[in-house]
Amino acid sequence: MTPVLAAADSSAGPWWAAPGSALLGIVVGFALKAVFDAIMEHRRVRREDRLRFIAEKMRGYADLGMLCSDTLRLMREMEEYGQRHEAAERQLQELLARQASGQEPSQEEIDDLQADVDAVRAHHGDLRSQSAAKAQEMSRLVNLLALVAPLRVRNSVYELVDTLTAEDFDEDAYDDAHARFVELAGQDLGRQP
């Protein structure tokens, strides 16, 4: 045998080395693909969770803004109906006083005015129950945002709700608190002011 052929035979190794290394390559390839797929799946799930979290925060911020607007509308409507109720009560008392003094208003006048007073009182009561429901919903939403919002946004939420529910409501203070909340919530969601 020539020295070249002898060298070729000795470097070839056993007969099963080539198929064994090919099989090992396939197994290692499948293992690497499985690891890579698991890592990518984990990243995808984390990304979806993050996007879902951001969407929930965005929905919470939007719901709070709408709830504050609805509450402000209800407060204005309650004030208006409170004034209408007081005016109708005054008219009814004046009518009853005229009746007591001898001037006879018609029973139809009294009944119409009493019906108006009752209707205004009933609507004012409906507004109060709507306001109580809005307050309960706002409390739930503020508690939810306290869990997910960063500190500066959380503080602006508290400030917004405090100015909205203050005994001596100041619309300018509410507008300032609302603008601050919108700005900070936008920054939290990655929007530039």
Q: Is residue 11 part of a domain?
A: no
Give me the phi and psi of 173, to 5 degrees please.
-65, -40
Q: Is residue 36 part of a domain?
A: yes
* Band of residue 191 on the pLDDT scale cut at 50, 70, 90: low
Residue 92 has pLDDT above 80, yes or no: no
Read off the tokens for 73: 């509308």
Residue 189 makes CB contacts below 8 A (sequence gap 6+) with 54, 57, 58, 61
Q: Is residue 52 part of a domain?
A: yes
Instruction: State mean pLDDT over 172-182.
Output: 92
* Band of residue 29 on the pLDDT scale cut at 50, 70, 90: very high
Instruction: State mean pLDDT over 84-113.
Output: 79
Q: Helices 171-188 and 17-100 sit at what angle, rounded to 10 degrees? A: 170
Percentage of residues in the chain having pLDDT higher than 90: 26
* Helix and strand counts by DSSP (H, E) for the chain: 5, 0
- Number of domains into which the chain is organized: 1
What pLDDT is stored for residue 192 in this prediction?
A: 52
Assess contact for 71 and 164: CB atoms under 8 A: yes
Q: Is residue 21 part of a domain?
A: no
In the predicted model, what is the mean pLDDT of the chain? 84
Q: Which domain holds residue 161?
A: 26-188
Instruction: State mean pLDDT over 155-168.
Output: 89
DSSP-derived 3-state class of residue 165: helix
Q: Is residue 102 part of a domain?
A: yes
Q: Is residue 10 part of a domain?
A: no
Read off the tokens for 101: 């003094």
CA 118 from centre of chain: 37
Handedness of CA 172, 178, 182, 187 (dihedral sign): positive
What pLDDT is stored for residue 3 in this prediction?
A: 54
What does pTM read for this prediction?
Answer: 0.65
Q: Is residue 161 part of a domain?
A: yes
Q: Is residue 3 part of a domain?
A: no
